[in-house]
Structure 1
Amino acid sequence: MLPNHFYRHGEVVIVGGEEPRPGLPAERLPGAMKCLVDFANANDGINELHKAAILHFAFAYYHPYFDGNGRTAWLFHLWYLVQQGYPAALFTSFSRYIAENKDAYYKAYERVERNALISGYTDVTPFLFYFCNGVYNRLQVDAVPPKTDLEVYQTALAEGKITEKERLLWEYVLSAYGAEEFTTKQLEKDFRNAAYATIRTFVMKFHEMGLLTARKAGNRVFYRVGGTSDGRPNESKRRTL
């Protein structure tokens, strides 16, 4: 991006659905993003789960950056849910759900666009329907860490044992990798905003707290959220939200 620009200064083409589509024109981004942030902070009485999905939709639809919009949309989604009292969302593999059925995710966007062409009005109902049925409903049966893990994280955060950078790294790991394994080098490359020493300290600290497990393969160590050290799901950590 250019100096003094918060968002992209050029146009982008978004691929993934049946047909590529342009992101919001660059000159409209500052105003649109301000409205989106104001909406996120407004106390408007909208159902929190629905509003989180709307924020996700709008951010990805605007595509304010040249790269990383999808993952940032997930982080925005998670941030809002946590602010509204859903800390378990930090332990939910939203990214895995979308990876398992990307077609439905992209088709939900396309339905919104097609309806808007006909009506002249942007109605995000198809995207909300996708999230309620394809993601939120699954939270009732999928494995998530138990309350004790949430308490470990929240206590460490409240006591100042987790830095702001480590908090951002944790939210990124949950959003970007979900239940998938990753290495410190991979996290450094993907996150792109932390030195390797910071990454290393983060994974070691969260491993010691029991929030990350490790699996050694040759000279490499693979980390993941939850589970057991050999990568198999830990059945004792299953609970219903």
Structure 2
Amino acid sequence: MIAVFRPDDGRLADAVEFIESLGADVLGDAMLEVRPTGNAPRDDGDFTILTSKTGVELAADAGWNAQGTICAVGDGTASRLREFEYPVHRIPAEFSSTGLVEELAADVDGARVEVARSDHGSPVLTDGLEAAGAYVHETILYELVRPANAGKSAEAAAEGDLSGAIFTSSLMVQNFLDAAEARGIRSEALAGLNDAVVGVIGEPTKSTAEGLGIEVDVVPEKADFETLARAVVTASNAN
């Protein structure tokens, strides 16, 4: 059984359906709940950075008037911006905070940079831009919390029922272990997870997972959910 942890706002159902189409049994366990703040990005920045599709959707809902150079972390975020008819001017080669700092560092000295994202955004981005000379303002578009009922995947891991797990953010990893801790089965869930094929999107999530004692087996070159899911299903079938 493959565990997947997307928010239960349509993305979890889509993820379950996709993995089932690959012929795998799926356990959907939402590890994140999105709570919008109602804030919109400021429109007076020389650069504005959006880091997720959720952020784009909430910015559009709040009536954001895009100005200046619009930057997206990743193709998914860029595609969502275009769907809302916002321009996309810059996408880093590496879809991460570090990659975006490297993309913009030579151009932001003295510039006003608006960063619009969740309350769990990495300080690597804001600190890196400030070190490059930018005047950085951060707008929190949404908060990410662990749903009260999250944790059935931890129970399945503890019982040895998982063949794979798919993590698409560092916070999902932390919330999985927190849910296990709340049930008094952290060590058992961790052991069961390490007997399964663990796939993550990107090096930051890999670093978080490994720092918490999770053995990571799959990190796709393309930071895309479907690519990751296919790789985890293939590896779990071969395991």
TM-score of the superposed pair, with normalisation by structure 2: 0.27
Higher normalized strand content (fraction of residues): 2
Question: Which structure has the higher relative contact order (CA within 8 Å, separation 6+)?
Answer: 2
Higher normalized helix content (fraction of residues): 1
TM-score of the superposed pair, with normalisation by structure 1: 0.27
